[in-house]
């Protein structure tokens, strides 16, 4: 799509990591997009995330890598350990991309820092808060977007980055219901001084005991640790009540220091963990899905945010390289669908005592 002839009117529904990254990616291609977010403020809570080389390459292209570098820690290794601390696997992060002489690595960052960096590169006047999408009416080559507050807009393209319970996906592409994983994730950020010196390096660690996982991500640039305890639960509520006593009972076979860290944390967030089955179609002529709305996945392989950011980068490139929006959307789908299908499948592989690799995606995606 040649933006020199006529800049398209593009609307992004949702200003999470995927929506914000897409706005930055489009801006890099000379295309402005307006973001409509239902919340009254944009916030991110919860765990740290590992930014992988394919994602970092987009950050470099968009000119935001230096900001990312300042607010993240470089990690060369991931470990899978038994609950008692015995190491099962210690492995370099896989490269998963061509042309990087530094080798395999990841940058560990807090979600809030990532969203703040992305927002700092978007003109504030392009972000509209308190706009909950009520309906979208599509025409041959444009769409009308209606909001609960009474506002309506027209757009050449609507990008739905509205999450796992996407209204847009349900109305246009698939009424697939989110699938409950049978687990709850208890998440917190703690100060390094409260970690008993257990996580002094930059290695991302997963401690396992049966179907209980403890994910520990050092955020040394913040002097903090991201701490996630994933435990079985039959309670399917999206935001379940926090039952710290029940959660701690699952850690009885873990290292005493991990038990003490978990017990000393006062403020957890807790969510039931869901994903969706692969969605057959993401696009119409003027509407497309992105991130969790297209391919929500479990957190075991740590790829949800990476996939959303890479979606945004590929979509922006496709729009820049195409003469029409429908052509661009076909390119976007063709490049991203096989990748996200595979990661959705892999994300359901919870780490266990039989693990021989920390990165089951290497067989499908490692480029040497």
- H or E element in which residue 315 lies: helix 304-321
Look at residue 1 in the predicted model and tell me its pLDDT.
55
The answer for residues whose C-beta is within 8 angstroms of residue 6's C-beta and 6 or more apart is none
Task: Establish how many alpha carbons lie within 13 A of residue 44's alpha carbon, considering only the half-sphere containing its beta carbon.
Answer: 21
pLDDT of residue 102: 57
Is residue 29 within 8 A of residue 319, CB to CB? The reply is: yes
Report DSSP letters for 317-351, one per residue.
HHHHH-SSHHHHHHHHHHHHHHHHHHHHHHHT---
What's the rounded Cα separation, in Å, for the pair 123 and 82?
Answer: 47
For the stretch 303-359, pLDDT in tens is 999 999 999 999 999 999 999 999 999 999 999 999 999 999 999 998 888 888 988
Q: What's the mean per-residue pLDDT of the chain?
A: 93
Q: Span 171-183, mean pLDDT? A: 94
Nearest one of 168, 244, 158, 256 to 207, comparing CA atoms? 256
Specify the DSSP class assigned to residue 166: -
Q: pLDDT > 90: what percent of the chain?
A: 85
Q: Which residues of 158-196 are buried (b: 16+ CB within 10 A; e: fewer)?
A: bbbbbbbebbbbebbbbeeebebbebbbbbbbbebeebe
Q: What domains are defined for the chain?
A: 10-74+109-178+277-352 (3.50.50.60)
Q: How many angstroms separate the CA atoms of 283 and 330, rounded? A: 8
Report how far apart, in Å, the C-alpha atoms of 179 and of each of 182, 210, 238, 281 are: 9, 21, 11, 18
157-166 pLDDT, tens digit per residue, is 999 999 999 9
- Span 98-123, pLDDT tens digits: 545 556 889 999 999 999 999 999 99
Instruction: Mention every residue, 6+ apart, whose C-beta is less than 8 A from residue 218.
Output: 73, 75, 108, 192, 199, 200, 201, 202, 203, 204, 225, 226
Alpha carbons 329 and 211: distance in angstroms, whole number: 39
Closest CA to 360 of 291, 308, 301, 320: 301
Nearest CA among 107, 7, 22, 64 for reference residue 291: 22
- Please return the burial class of 103, using the count of CB atoms within 10 Å of its CB with bins 0-12, 13-18 and 19+: exposed
């Amino acid at each position: 799509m040649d933006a020199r002839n006529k800049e398209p009117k593009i609307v992004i529904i949702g200003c999470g990591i995927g929506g914000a990254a897409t706005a930055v990616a489009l801006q890099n291609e000379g295309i402005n997009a307006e973001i409509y977010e239902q919340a009254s403020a944009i916030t991110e809570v919860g765990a740290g995330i590992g930014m992988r080389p394919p994602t970092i390459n987009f950050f470099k292209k968009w000119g935001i890598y230096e900001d990312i570098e300042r607010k993240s820690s470089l990690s060369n290794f991931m470990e899978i350990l038994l609950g008692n601390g015995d190491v099962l696997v210690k492995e370099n992060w896989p490269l998963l991309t061509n042309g990087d002489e530094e080798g395999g690595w990841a940058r560990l960052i807090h979600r809030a820092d990532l969203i703040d960096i992305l927002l700092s590169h978007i003109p504030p006047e392009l972000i509209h808060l308190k706009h909950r999408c009520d309906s979208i009416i599509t025409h041959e080559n444009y769409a009308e977007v209606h909001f609960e507050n009474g506002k309506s807009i027209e757009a050449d393209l609507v990008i739905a980055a509205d999450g796992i319970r996407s209204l847009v996906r349900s109305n246009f592409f698939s009424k697939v219901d989110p699938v409950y994983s049978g687990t709850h994730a208890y998440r917190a950020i703690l100060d390094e001084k409260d970690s008993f010196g257990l996580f002094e390096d930059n290695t991302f660690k997963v401690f396992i005991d049966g179907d209980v996982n403890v994910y520990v991500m050092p955020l040394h640039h913040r002097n903090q640790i991201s701490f996630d305890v994933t435990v079985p639960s039959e309670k399917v509520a999206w935001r379940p009540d926090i039952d710290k006593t029940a959660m701690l009972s699952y850690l009885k076979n873990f290292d005493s220091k991990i038990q003490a860290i978990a017990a000393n944390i006062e403020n957890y967030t807790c969510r039931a963990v869901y994903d969706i089955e692969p969605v057959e179609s993401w696009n119409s002529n003027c509407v497309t899905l992105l991130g969790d709305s297209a391919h929500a996945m479990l957190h075991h392989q740590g790829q949800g945010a990476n996939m959303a950011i890479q979606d945004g980068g590929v979509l922006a490139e496709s729009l820049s390289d195409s003469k029409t929006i429908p052509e661009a959307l076909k390119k976007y789908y063709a490049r991203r669908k096989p990748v996200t299908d595979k990661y959705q499948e892999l994300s359901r592989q919870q780490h266990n005592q039989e693990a021989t690799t920390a990165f089951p995606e290497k067989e499908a995606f490692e480029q040497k």
